[in-house]
Every structure is written in C-alpha cells, then in structure tokens.
Amino acid sequence: MSNAGTRCASCTNLVTEKTIEQNYCPSCGSKVALPSSAPEYVPKGVCKTIEEIISKTGNVVALSRLGPNSWQIIHGSAKISISYHEKTGMITGDAFLCKLPKENIKAIYEYLLRQNYELDGLSLSILGQEIVISLVMYDRYLKPETGLKLFNNLLHKADDYDDILIHEFGAIARTAD
C-alpha cells in the first residue's frame, strides 16, 4: 500500500489509501477515487505506434509521455516535443534549439536556409527569437520503419544543430526549463 492520496471534492479533506473507507471520504461520506485506482493507460492506434517508435529510439515511454497524445524526449543537449493531433491527423516533432544571437544574424539565416535545402523530412525555422527544428507528418503516412527513421533523424539533428549554432554562429543556449 502506498501513500497516494487526493482531496475530497466535497469537503477538501485529504484522503489517503490508509484513511479511505470503501471508496468514500471518512469525513463527509462522498465518493472518492484515489490515483492508484485509475486504470493504467494503454495507447491505441497511432499513439501506440508513436510509443513503439519512441521505445525503439532507446527512450523510456513512460518517462517520455506527457499525456495521451504528447511526449517529450531529452536527447543529448536537445529537448524534443512530439505531439499527435488526432482531429487533423498531424504528427509534429519540435526541438527549440537555441536563441538567435544579438549580432551576425545574416550568417545564421544563410546557414539555416542552406541546411533546409539539405534536410530530409525536417525543417529549420525561427519562431520569435528561437531557432526550431521540426518534423511534420500525417498519421496516414506513419509506418514503424519510416517513423523510426524520421524520429531518429530528428533526435540526432536536434542534438547536433544546437551545438553547431551555439559554437559556430554564436547563438544563445537555451536555459533549462
């Protein structure tokens, strides 16, 4: 038995596994559900495929999962966010690499444009002052083999590009959030 607990919605009393009385609050008698009684999340469909791909990249899915359609992976110095928007069928992977430098931005813009021409399935862009590398695909095109190739490419390129942009172009490293 763990020390998991929750607040009763009726009386705000703290109810734990030790104090709960047959799924009811011992103070007011309202029905209470403890976190430990929630069923384990089991992904289905596209989310299951995405989680299988994340696992094959060497990451622990349970630690990467932010929600049923959202994941975050730390790879080297890069933090990659992966999302699935079921309504549109859009799968996105974004890594905010670093911030634009205060000077010499022409060189960094030219570099990003040249790299976009060479990147396969990924694109570099700027959002505000942030340099972002992104993967965008539709769920109907997601196959385990191609998804693994694209996700691995995103992970490795994100880790490589943030170092290149910071050390060679003077971009500003992101602060830990």
Taking only the tens of pLDDT, the chain with its 177 residues reads 467 788 989 998 999 888 988 889 999 999 998 877 777 888 899 999 999 999 999 999 999 999 999 999 998 888 999 999 999 999 999 999 999 999 989 999 999 999 999 998 999 999 999 999 999 999 999 999 999 999 999 999 999 999 999 999 999 998 866
Q: Please, is 155 exposed, middle or buried when counting C-beta atoms within 10 Å of its C-beta (0-12, 13-18, 19+)?
A: buried
Q: Assess whether 19 and 63 both reside in one domain.
A: no
Number of domain units in the chain: 2
According to DSSP, residue 170 is labeled -
CATH code of 151's domain: 3.30.1460.10
Fill in the DSSP letter of residue 128: T
Q: Extract the tokens encoding 30.
A: 């309202």
Q: Which pLDDT score, from 0 to 100, does residue 77 have?
A: 84
Whether 136 and 52 map to the same domain: the answer is yes
Same domain, 51 and 17: no
For 167, the domain range is 45-173
Element (H, E) at 50: helix 45-56
Which DSSP string do the residues of 65-98 spell out, in sequence order?
EEETTEEEEEETTEEEEEEEETTTTEEEEEEEEE
Cα(50)–Cα(144) distance, rounded to whole angstroms?
Answer: 8
102 shares a domain with 15: no
Give the per-residue pLDDT at 40.
Answer: 81
| The pLDDT of residue 177 | 60
In a shared domain, residues 82 and 60:
yes
Q: How many CA atoms lie within 13 A of 85 on its CB side?
A: 8
pLDDT value, residue 34: 84
Instruction: Give the C-alpha separation, 125 to 162, whole Å.
Output: 13
75 & 96 share domain: yes
Q: Which one, of 50, 43, 47, lies nearest residue 150 by Cα?
A: 50
Q: What is the pLDDT of residue 33?
A: 87
Distance between CA atoms of residues 151 and 121, nearest Å:
10
Q: What is the pLDDT of residue 163?
A: 94
> What separation in angstroms does the CA of 60 have from each of 71, 146, 168?
11, 20, 32
For residue 88, what are the contacts with CB-CB under 8 A and spacing of at least 6? none
pLDDT digits (tens, 9 = 90+) for 131-148: 999 999 999 999 999 999
Sign of torsion over alpha carbons 15, 20, 21, 24: positive
Residues 74 and 160 in one domain: yes
